[in-house]
Structure 1
Amino acid sequence: MSSPAKKLKTDVFEDESCISGFIHNVSAVRVGVRNGAKYFNALLQVSREEFRHVVVFAMEKRTAFIQAEKNKSPVKLTRIKRRVSNDGGKFDVQCGKSTELLVVTEVGFSFRESPQSAKKTMSEVKAMAARQQVGTIEVKICHVEVASEMVEIMGAKVETQTCYVQDGTGQVKLQLWAGQIGQVLCGHSYRMRNLSTREYLGSVFLTTTRNTEIVETKEVAGASSFVQFEVEEEQVTTYIGSIVRAEIAVSKKCTKCQAWQLEFNSAVKFHRCQRCKLLQKAEYYQCTASGRVAFLQDNNEMDLTVTNSVISCYLEKEGMRHLLIEGQNVEEHLLTVDTWKVQIQRDVVVKIEKVAETAQSEKPEDKEIAGAMAALESEEM
């Protein structure tokens, strides 16, 4: 039999009256991992200082929530449910199909930015606990590591890259994930929204999320006085040779619910997402390719890791992104090209390109004919 404390956390209380306030931080549509239910989140400012978490299970209401957030309009939510929150006696707001969002003239207090949207300095970020949301930062990129790496998350390979950001209060490590890789350049300044904190070996660092926004901006105030920041990295070495073996895996992700597809038949035209259950054309799924190759240079064979950004950048340049539908397509192409130029750091390929084919050397008989023709021309003169 469950204890009273455990039962309290699962109770749902009908609230037929209403709750009023300002809408903040409307999220993208999400899909529950356990039951596949679609929902989105928001914050509701219910007083000058107090904010409540909101979860909405009616997708048709998201446009109204976004509009209320954009207009900073005071609203009243009717026919809601209240769930006991984990935040010490507070409650979260649950909205369903019967919930109504009504714009009202006033709610007795003024609009105020939510704590999650507030701008943070690097010193403030370093003082935060792990797994806290960071609304906005304005920083200068002081270092971007050359090599990225592939890590396995929920059965799929996802790429990550480390960089370092700074403002007038200090520097913090920032972990870029997947789509954010390549969006920042060293020495440039950016406004970033919707990040999260993590902790490793006692140090707090930042990580991007799937809702992170990165926009280049004018140089951060006081950037000229920032402390010089350097990270020692292994040298990038260039080799010319051939790829003699390759193993490339292609992972597929639903662009609707962001779920990785653990099973995917590339030979069929359509595929049903294993989470949101929507049937889609196979080419509409986002492809991520990574793996390893055996690179032969002057009879020296090297086992190298190839990341998604390197493969995608090469295929985009060559107009061959269609190969990403299946890993073997990429493998066969890598083995077909005779000569490659690769740049390597720590056994990781950071750039790959084909070496232009040179004219074939003349055959011995061709040289003899050319010599005879030259002698004949000399006698005629």
Structure 2
Amino acid sequence: MNLLYPTTYAFCITFFLIFSRGTMSSSFGSEITNPSSGFAFDLYQHVIKGKEQQNVVLSPLSIYTALGLAYMGAGGRTKEEMASVLRISTNATESKESFRRLLCKYKASSMLSIANKVYVQSGKNLQPSFVEASEKVFSSEADVINFSQSDVAAKTINSWVESKTNNKIQNLIDPSNLDSNTMMVLVNAIYFKGFWKNQFRKELTKKADFWTSETESVKVDMMSNNKAHYPYGVFEDLDAAAVELPFRDEDLAMLIILPNSKTGLPSLEAKLRSMDLFKLRQRMHSEEVIVSMPKFKIEFSIELNDVLSEMGMSSMFSDNADFSGLLNSAEPLKVSKVIHKAFIDVNEEGAEAAAATGIGIMAVSAVFPPPRTNIFKVDRPCIYAVKSQSEIHFIGRVTYF
């Protein structure tokens, strides 16, 4: 993990490849505060399976939005499955309004930008109902492209992605993933850059131990700040503590959940499966805290076909998929690949993050303790999330350097 980057940021890309039904390229619990947040932690739990020692960053908001765009053209069982996993209504008016409200929150944001794009095969026409939803709800333009000219098509899509992620995500799509069977590519890009409300003082950053096991540690650049008031909580039921570090100017913040044990992250993640992070946040209260945490940079990419199938959206990848609401033509369509790439860089000044998602379709009341100064030192694997009061934009874990 490179610790030398001078700024902090995050970004992501999610894309879908949509093909006609032919031979695919092989290269590629509890009550929740709102639908996208319920989806977010469910997604996280599925992504981390089998990745016990791996650093992770992903943007549930990017993936949720890209899936929502594809949902606007779904029908039958495919629509029902997607609605269930996304926790939205199958009623077209209600689902459109749900996504419209979600995306409208960030149109004027100075920290977080969200962009969507539809690429459609030359000679094919989109269904008018899908065009209306993509434009009015997702603010997405549609461009005609010849996927048979795979080099040119990939360059066009990748250039758009780079322009929306401050050049943090490059060469998202390889030309080999595009051919004459490709009917559409749906892309979502998110870019975030925020400065801490209470910045870490660079002169306080020192080498310190980060424990990767009970007996092994590595030296990291550990940031520290002067004591300040932060939302803070100690949770006996989780055997963990949490602090929330706000960003300047908007209601966005980074929530960090730290197990008490050096090797307690797997147990913590298991306990969080049935817990809403926003209800956990309600159990936190303002206390004086001195925070120490490492600078970190994480890049992560994943093909989401298996994850989304496990979550309950298997039919959209099958020959029984129903995306009859996408194209104004008779050929049946299915999703071939869902790819997600994300990046986050955290340092003394703040956090910068970006992500992109692409879809290809082939055929409690707080109890306030007496005043005290708490020490919150992130010197072992933990979970983090960049969030607002109602959405999780980025979520991940730091396990090693």
TM range (shorter): under 0.3
Which has a greater percent of helix?
Answer: 2
How high is the TM-score relative to the length of structure 1? 0.21
